[in-house]
A = this chain, B = another copy of it.
């Protein structure tokens, strides 16, 4: 078989090779069905059991309490930017947002179409290299919800201490950190994540919502953008992205085999420290995020010049470390190390960085 690369893409991104191999074996015929999962009616017993198992496994892995609904939707994170205000900005028609980068910014811009958006804090002044300090006097106790991006994929920041929002439901975009670390669901009213980083192929979005927040969507909300509709129909209001749901289910099984989320978190902390410790010790490479807010998943770093950045990316690629180029809006490098990135991937990258430093300083 062709040699697989170490793919540091921010998303879509590396998936566990064992899961890809299982999906490959089952692609033409899912066991004892005589058809591919792609060919199954979403109303068939076979598919319904795939869906039910995926839900039950996610519930177990994330310790999701019974008063939360789990949905598998289409539209990606960007559709959530609209669904959140359309469904939740329904009491006082206003919400609090913390801007930690372009994803929170896009979410806030979209929400402005539907109500009043209060920017509690932003780290724009330091090019989003930190989670901003929160001044509780700026938090609106009448806000319908309080919105954060748990892990900023572009700038590589991460909320370690969740804000205390009192009775205001906390809404979290965890697209780039779901299943990478333990999280206390009960702190949230709503959590969502696009699948294309830690879960599977692009095209499925996981939404976890506290039941009391369902209902009361704005009148003009498209039916397909109403959480209550999808919750009532158990993600089968219309044809769901069946293959993506199946694949996520295989990933959930894989996570369980790794020992669950706590075990993956340990491995992720180890991978991240391999890279961050090197960056801190290096006189040539530099991490761009303040240490306390560093992401376990996305590590942006720079060399002293654009020429060196370009040289590094090129040489890395030739060695099979691909997609290390930073986001088009910030440049430099970014190594995304999602759950599926093996420890050896990071070890070998750091070894190459050491060599590059020796040759270029």
- Identify the A interface with B (CB < 8 A): 1-5, 7, 9-15, 17, 20-21, 23-24, 27-29, 31-36, 38-44, 74-79, 81-83, 86, 110, 113-114, 194, 196, 200-204, 219-220, 222-225, 237-244, 247, 320, 322-323, 328
Contacts and interface: CB of A to CB of B under 8 A. Distances in A.
Residue among A12, A77, A247 with the highest chain B CB neighbour number at 10 A:
A12
Contacts of A20: 27-28, 36, 38
B24 A320 contact: no
A75 B226 CA distance: 12
A38 B7 CA distance: 12
A31 B32 CA distance: 30
Contact of A17 (B28, B242, B243): B28
B239 A76 contact: yes
A237 B78 contact: yes
B28 A7 contact: no
Top 4 A-B residue pairs of the complex, sorted by shortest distance between their CB atoms: A203-B241, A82-B222, A5-B34, A78-B238
Contacts of A74: 74-76, 79, 203, 241
Nearest to A205: B74
B78 A223 contact: yes
Contacts of A113: 219-220, 222
A11 B220 contact: no
B82 A7 contact: no
A73 to B, nearest CB: 9
